[in-house]
Amino acid sequence: MSEKKKYSKQIPQRRLQVYLTDNYLEIDIGYGAYTGAAASQKHWKVLFDKSGTVEQAMRESWEKREMAPKTPEIEQKLVECADLAWHYLMHAAAAIKRKCYWRAVTELDYARGLLIGVLGSRYSLETSRFREVDQLPETELAVLAKTLPSSLTPDALWRSLTALTDAVYTELERYGEQARITVNRQQVNEYIKACRGL
């Protein structure tokens, strides 16, 4: 390894060693019993194996995972977003009105995460822990940027909530009936307007 090690950490309870090189390349090394070898990510490489069985076990476990019948990811993400986003958006409105600004930010974060999950599915990007969100098209990133509060003030939070509500429903509505929207844009906006007006 030609990179200089900048940081390392061993996490025994997770059977993991983490190395960060001076050019910010992260190398995660997992270790454990060969009898429990299984691939949970697409990209993996066995570096050391005294038993000679781990490579095959990893490959077979990944193939089995890929072959398993599953609901199309976009459908799953759409239903999850339609089922939950309105709840977080309404809670954010109530939190802003109650001057619970950190709570409002958290509710906005949850709703934004659901939206990002749908966008990730649409663009075939890995959005777990927002890994590939930076690869979304600039137009999508510009919309998402408007959903971030610029400060913990009521005005900034209301602006973020309005932008996020619009972004969530614009994305859900593009799929029509497939999204199975239970609480629609108008209902959420009426609730937000009522909260602001109280």
For residue 27, list its beta bridge partners: 19
pLDDT, residue 147, reads: 98
For residue 19, list its beta bridge partners: 8, 27
pLDDT, residue 1, reads: 46
Total-model pTM: 0.72
The 10s digit of each residue's pLDDT in 155-176 is 999 999 999 999 999 999 999 9
> Cα–Cα distance between 158 and 99 in angstroms, integer?
12
b vs e for 152-163, b when ≥16 Cβ sit within 10 Å of the residue's Cβ? eeeeebbbbbbb
pLDDT, residue 19, reads: 75
Q: How far from 28 is each of 50, 62, 91, 138, 165, CA to CA, in Å?
A: 20, 18, 38, 30, 37
pLDDT, residue 52, reads: 81
What single-letter amino acid sits at 87?
A: H
Residue 197's CB: how many other CB atoms inside 10 A? 7
pLDDT, residue 68, reads: 67
> Cα–Cα distance between 13 and 54 in angstroms, integer?
21
Show the domains of the chain with their CATH numbers. 5-67 (no CATH), 73-197 (1.20.120.330)
> Cα–Cα distance between 165 and 92 in angstroms, integer?
11
Which residues in the chain land under pLDDT 70?
1-15, 24, 26, 32, 34, 68-71
